[in-house]
């Protein structure tokens, strides 16, 4: 099997850490692992160079070849029974890598092309949720040219429909990279500028005063939901530093301290959201729960962090499915889906 990791996004190091954990936990009696790194420049390294990087202290894998010239990497991938993509961001979890694997006829872990593409684009995701009647916070979408050419109009729209405080996010991004909180009109210029550094489309979303609750979902046609967990960030909001900095004191509380009926409602909505998105394999579904126990969908993460201490596997461990067994189940689901699709 192939483990694909690295990539162009700001979550490159997170992907590398996930790959190390996954490869260390897979049972060697069943899985012969082929590691394939994708550099920050989009180049593909061959398995030997990738393994050399994993054995050393490297956190950035560069010096490979463009995809169509990476004969040794592609040849190694072609021998694999199944692939486990752990690449975040552009050309990783946005449906493009999934489409490549589909065309190559290689089964792969996680959601398919459409669900991955929607999961990457927060604007499309929230529109789909609204259409399906899944509650979301008030939000709007701005293109870079709109903010540049229609500055006052854009700000008036935000103030009339969303208000302050609000969060400004790149529509396509992850791990809160490029996300900032705006308390007033004066904050909007820098916040939009930061978001547009990562994407030409920004989502502006009303700040929700609530608890951050997450559920891990696993399965194809009949998915299951883990117990719910709560993230208690160590700062105003759960940003990149709060998630990954060594100095972070963010806490993960599993199970979340919710009333039983609210916890069940969150888990039920996680399953519905997962299926509305068209997800299969696995994904993490994130919510806000307000003081009056209103549940609001935040987003679906189609390739969540996968170290042994990441929220997705920790939620399943608390639900009775340990890390190594979870990985095998995910790979079995990939093979099962591939077999089913080839019968149709």
What's the pLDDT tens digit per position in 173-205?
765 778 999 999 999 999 999 999 989 999 999
Let me know: does 134 contact 273? Beta carbons within 8 Å.
Answer: yes
Clarify whether residues 229 and 299 are in a common domain. Answer: yes
Parallel, antiparallel or unpaired: strands 34-38 and 83-85: unpaired
Q: Does the residue 97 lie in any domain?
A: yes
Mean pLDDT of 325-338: 97
Q: Which sequence positions are flagged as catalytic?
A: 11, 175, 244, 284, 286, 299, 301, 305
116: pLDDT confidence band, cut at 50, 70 and 90?
Answer: very high
Clarify whether residues 224 and 183 are in a common domain. Answer: no
Q: What is the DSSP letter of 221?
A: S
Read off the pTM. 0.92
150: pLDDT confidence band, cut at 50, 70 and 90?
Answer: confident
Q: Does the residue 124 lie in any domain?
A: no
Let me know: does 237 contact 205? Beta carbons within 8 Å.
Answer: no
CATH number reported for the structural domain that contains residue 48 in this entry: 3.40.50.20
Give residues with Cβ within 8 angstroms of 149, minimum separation 6: none
Clarify whether residues 337 and 222 are in a common domain. Answer: yes
- Cα 148 to Cα 140: distance, rounded to the nearest angstrom: 16
Total number of domains constituting the chain: 3
Clarify whether residues 145 and 93 are in a common domain. Answer: no
Residue 101 is part of which domain span?
Answer: 2-108
Clarify whether residues 178 and 217 are in a common domain. Answer: no
Q: Does the residue 278 lie in any domain?
A: yes
- Cα 80 to Cα 90: distance, rounded to the nearest angstrom: 23
Q: Does the residue 12 lie in any domain?
A: yes
Q: Does the residue 335 lie in any domain?
A: yes
Quote the tokens at residue 61. 């894998």
Q: Does the residue 129 lie in any domain?
A: no
Quote the tokens at residue 47. 């398995």
DSSP one-letter string for 141-194: EEEHHHHHHSHHHHHHHHHHHT-SSEEEEESB--TTTT-EEE-SHHHHHHHHHH
Q: Does the residue 125 lie in any domain?
A: no
Give residues with Cβ within 8 angstroms of 160, minimum separation 6: none
pLDDT of res. 237: 55
Give residues with Cβ within 8 angstroms of 341, minimum separation 6: none
pLDDT of res. 173: 75
């Amino acid at each position: 099997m192939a483990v694909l990791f690295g990539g162009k996004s700001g979550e490159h190091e997170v992907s590398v850490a996930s790959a190390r954990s996954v490869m260390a936990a897979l049972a060697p009696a069943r899985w012969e692992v082929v590691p394939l790194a994708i550099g920050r420049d989009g180049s593909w390294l061959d398995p030997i160079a990738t393994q050399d990087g994993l054995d050393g202290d490297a956190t950035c894998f560069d010096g490979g070849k463009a995809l169509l010239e990476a004969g040794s990497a592609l040849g190694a991938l072609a021998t694999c029974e199944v692939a486990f993509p752990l690449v975040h961001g552009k050309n990783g979890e946005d449906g493009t890598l999934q489409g490549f694997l589909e065309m190559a006829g290689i089964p792969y872990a996680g959601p398919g092309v459409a669900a991955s593409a929607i999961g990457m684009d927060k604007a499309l995701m929230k529109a789909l949720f609204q259409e399906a009647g899944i509650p979301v916070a008030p939000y709007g979408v701005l293109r870079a040219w709109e903010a540049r050419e229609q500055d006052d109009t854009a700000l008036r729209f935000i103030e009339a429909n969303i208000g302050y405080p609000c969060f400004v996010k790149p529509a396509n991004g992850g791990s809160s990279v490029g996300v900032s909180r705006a308390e007033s009109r004066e904050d909007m210029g820098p916040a939009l500028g930061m978001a547009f550094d990562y994407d030409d489309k920004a989502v502006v979303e009303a700040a929700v005063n609530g608890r951050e609750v997450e559920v891990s979902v696993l399965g194809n046609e009949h998915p299951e939901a883990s117990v719910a967990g709560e993230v208690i960030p160590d700062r105003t909001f759960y940003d990149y530093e709060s998630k990954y900095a060594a100095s972070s004191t963010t806490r993960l509380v599993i199970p979340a301290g919710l009333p039983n009926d609210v916890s069940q409602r969150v888990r039920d909505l996680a399953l519905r959201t997962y299926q509305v998105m068209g997800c299969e394999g696995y994904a993490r579904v994130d919510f806000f729960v307000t003081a009056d126990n209103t549940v609001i969908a935040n987003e679906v993460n189609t390739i969540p962090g996968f170290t042994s201490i990441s929220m997705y596997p920790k939620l399943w461990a608390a639900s009775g499915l340990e890390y190594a067994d979870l990985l095998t189940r995910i790979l079995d689901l990939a093979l099962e889906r591939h077999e089913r699709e080839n019968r149709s």
